[in-house]
Amino acid sequence: MDDKKFTIGILTSGGDSPGMNPCIRAAVRAAAENNAQVIGVMNGYEGLINGEFRPLGARDVGGILQRGGTILQTRRSERFLEKHFQREAIRNMNGAGMDGLIVIGGEGSLRGAHALAEQGVKVIGLPGSIDNDIWGTDIAIGVDTAMNTIMDAVDKLRDTASSHGRAFLVETMGRGSGYLAVMAGIVTGAEMILIPEVPVTVKEVAKSVDDAYTRGKTHAIIIVAEGASVKIADLAKALDDMDVGFSTRVTILGHIQRGGSPTAYERMLASRLGVRAVEAILAGETDMMVGVQGRDLALVPLTEVTGRTRPVRPEYIEMAHTLAR
């Protein structure tokens, strides 16, 4: 009699994002509820290639709900782009008795998931990236926590900016997307937001800061997305050279945005996605990502998700500018 339980592999890949741990926990426990078992793959696709596996039972994921990062570790894998290593990974999965795989990560990681699905592996992807640039989902795991981290940091910077009458240039992450910068601009009341989607020159920005000073602003917060057409160091230099009224300070928030305890919203989102991924894989679905659409979760084909970028909604860009007056 074959009493082998359906076995699901799970990995986190690419940049980590707060919420990955609650998602892993939810998947493991939902699997247990459905009489399936989970094997954790360490170090993303690198661990799949190397066969770095560890069984994950319900008790193994206790106490991780509130922890940032990922207990499975994550890597960016160049090797996994090569067919030869993908085949090696599939061999390892078969050897470990895996019947399916859940991949939590950004667009590059979901591309890897699709490559496996094309070779017959049952794969479900989950969107995990603070950048919120993944097509097919309103929001990804990590975005809400990162936003709250940025908001907290910028609120603090505003305190000191206003005490000293300074302009603060604050760089947010997001790779080629201005999402975090736009939303951060709105929720912190930034005076200016520079994003890749709306290219500007250093001169134009310096002129606007000068105008803001002349209009009577007592300090200024300028959020600069890391992918913006203007680099923060060049801008700081230009503001100093041009004497725009304010003296300038630069803060690069950096990887602090990727850490921290997931927010309540994040834990809920990650838990829902983890449970839904297990349900989908047990129902025989493959080559799909579970996305958030409105209040609901929906399966989106990975072929639609990969090679595309979720745009920032133009009305938010407009609103950010309106409110920055």
Q: Which of 29, 114, 175, 267 binds ligand F6P (CB under 6 A)?
A: 175
Assess contact for 308 and 135: CB atoms under 8 A. yes
Pick the closest to residue 190 from 165, 211, 169 (CA basis): 169
Q: Of residues 16, 99, 131, 287, which has the active-site annotation?
A: 131
In the chain, what are the helix, strand and coil shares in percent, each to the nearest 5?
45, 20, 35
185-204: which residues touch ligand F6P (CB under 6 A)?
Answer: none
Instruction: Report the residue number, 44 or 174, with the smaller CB distance to ligand F6P.
Output: 174
CB of 146 to ligand F6P, least distance (A): 8
Tokens representing 100 are: 């399916």
Question: In DSSP terms, which residues pair with 288 in a beta bridge?
Answer: 124, 301
User: From CA 44, how far away is CA 19, in angstroms rounded?
Assistant: 16
CB of 241 to ligand F6P, least distance (A): 28
Q: Minimum CB separation from ligand F6P for residue 247, in Å?
A: 29
Please, which residue, 258 or 267, has the CB nearer to ligand F6P? 258
Active site residue 210: no
Tell the smallest beta-carbon distance from residue 142 to ligand F6P (Å).
8
Min separation Cβ 194 and ligand F6P, Å: 15
How many Å apart are CA 74 and CA 205, to the nearest integer? 38
Within 91-150, which residues bind ligand F6P (CB under 6 A)? 106, 129-131
Residue 285 DSSP code: -
CA 274 to CA 270: how far, in whole Å? 6
Q: Which of residues 218-277 bind ligand F6P (CB under 6 A)?
A: 226, 258
**Is 131 or 144 the residue whose CB approaches ligand F6P more closely?**
131
Cβ(39)–Cβ(96) below 8 Å: yes
Of these, 15, 105, 112, 178, which contacts ligand F6P (CB under 6 A)? 15
19 binds ligand F6P (CB under 6 A): no
Measured CA to CA, the distance from residue 205 to residue 229 in angstroms comes to 11
Report the C-alpha gap between 303 and 111 in whole angstroms: 8
Q: Which residues are annotated as catalytic?
A: 131
Name the residues that contact ligand F6P, by CB under 6 A.
Answer: 15, 106, 129-131, 173-175, 226, 258
